Structure 1
């Protein structure tokens, strides 16, 4: 189950997919995770979208948790992120997607993310879009998988941060979508690390399901080793199963 910590998710995205397993507003403490910005809904479409919203998701069968951690302008706080992470973990999330970032470290956030990872949760966060050789927080934290944006040609996007250390994975480019107030999904242009993060979260969810079917334990380090790009100009590794022969194995 993937928790999307963002601006919320509109019912226009979730009403047909049967994918929503829970919703939470980490700012108010209530269940209303209505998206007044459109960013989180665009991410959800990339993950679980179908023909009804005009975008097929990378993991359409995934279950999701909608966790609103920002105001209507897309700004979050350490407190809302911590509250959102704790709620998501308590409600069964195995993957936490954070398509947000800051250049300022936060020890409290670090503590709660470490607690989530100790419970076996994979945390994926956007590396940032400054073209820097380091990731923004929380992607820069130890154990967090930093999502690096790629191009359609399979190279690292020039605007994408590319950290020189840590768990970094680049995925092929997906468009940036935003949901309008009228419920229409509109394409804003090429995706950046926010979109890379949700695609990466989808790959993690698919790989977790795959590994579970093989009666094995998901290993974030192994996942990162398979998909990681060792230098900015390297070719991105296309997505493929961790256990391609799983279906052929005897139970």
Structure 2
């Protein structure tokens, strides 16, 4: 699977998780500055993967392309195309808000930044009020997405039963190599509550979840007033105040290497892996050795291109 495809999955899975927490008469706010890092959505940007060149079809209530974070309709805008199946001949402008929120989480690129801010949106309006939608229009929108060259199709809506025509349309998209992300709906968690298109085995179907955790997958390392972005290991706790100390190189973080340096109250910098071919020097071993040497913190830098994630013991 191409790297952009993996990133696209992160994008649309995240969108579906957020959208299906909707409850009438309650106000919900999407805090992209917190929620995007929580799911690791900004990690691909460290590799320069920001959605550039990707077209994502949003089958929903349309998109408000006058919004400053989603501005423009047409080849030079954020919303490069689409279709209004409710009022044919008119642009697919959102008057409900549901589709705009979906598109914003995906690709907002203004004051707010979506998961893939450089991606382009294809907006297909199949519902006016976000409450009712025709299965025939979902099918037409899927086929139009295929025709318009979408790389990914996001469908944060559906019907509460199996619909063969919708499932067949999803299969047509899958056969073209298009990633299809669907929502599990609002009727769970009891069995037999997922309808089409979420019931299609070829799509990636996502259910809602409640997040009561605090997390930060991105941290800042500042050296001589110059900031660098680093990725904390899984299990790291949020700091009340910054760790300040001298950075000392500790080789590969082996016990015998650290005996030859004064690592007490330092920030220890060690290389990933080992200098001995075939030796498995786990992050947990490096962490233990650094702690035993009296270091305040441990930074492991990569010995090959790409991003890696470690885990604390």
Aligned to 1:126: 183
Distance 1:77 1:137 in 2: 12
Distance 1:7 1:19 in 2: 17
1:45 aligned counterpart, secondary structure: helix
Distance 1:31 1:23 in 2: 11
Q: CA deviation at 1:95?
A: 0.6
Indicate conservation of the 8 Å contact 1:7/1:74, yes or no.
Answer: no
Aligned to 1:107: 164
Structure 2 alignment gaps of length 5 or more: 1-54, 215-303, 308-313
Distance 1:18 1:36 in 2: 19
Please give the TM-score of this superposition, normalised by the length of structure 2: 0.46
| Displacement over 6 Å in runs of 4+ | none
Q: CA deviation at 1:31?
A: 4.7
Aligned in 2, Cα 1:108/1:63: closer, same or farther, shift over 3 Å?
A: same
Indicate conservation of the 8 Å contact 1:6/1:68, yes or no.
Answer: yes
Aligned to 1:223: none
Q: CA deviation at 1:66?
A: 0.7
Q: CA deviation at 1:64?
A: 1.0
Indicate conservation of the 8 Å contact 1:7/1:71, yes or no.
Answer: yes
Aligned in 2, Cα 1:140/1:154: closer, same or farther, shift over 3 Å?
A: farther
Aligned in 2, Cα 1:63/1:50: closer, same or farther, shift over 3 Å?
A: closer
Number of residue pairs the alignment of both structures matches: 157
2:149 is matched with which residue: 60, 79, 92?
Answer: 92
Q: CA deviation at 1:149?
A: 2.5
Distance 2:135 2:172 in 1: 15
Q: CA deviation at 1:147?
A: 1.3
Q: CA deviation at 1:136?
A: 2.9
Aligned to 1:3: 57
Query: Which runs of structure 2 are paired with 1:53-72 in the superposition (5 Å)?
Result: 55-72=112-129
Aligned in 2, Cα 1:97/1:131: closer, same or farther, shift over 3 Å?
A: same
1:148 is matched with which residue: 200, 207, 210?
Answer: 207
Please give the TM-score of this superposition, normalised by the length of structure 1: 0.57
Indicate conservation of the 8 Å contact 1:23/1:31, yes or no.
Answer: no
Query: Which runs of structure 2 are paired with 1:94-243 in the superposition (5 Å)?
Result: 94-132=151-189, 133-134=191-192, 135-153=194-212
Distance 2:305 2:203 in 1: 28
Q: CA deviation at 1:154?
A: 5.9
Q: CA deviation at 1:152?
A: 2.8
Indicate conservation of the 8 Å contact 2:81/2:123, yes or no.
Answer: yes
2:102 is matched with which residue: 35, 43, 67?
Answer: 43
1:15 is matched with which residue: 71, 94, 99?
Answer: 71
Aligned in 2, Cα 1:50/1:3: closer, same or farther, shift over 3 Å?
A: same
2:207 aligned counterpart, secondary structure: strand
Indicate conservation of the 8 Å contact 1:19/1:63, yes or no.
Answer: yes
Question: Which structure has the higher relative contact order (CA within 8 Å, separation 6+)?
Answer: 1
Distance 1:138 1:88 in 2: 15
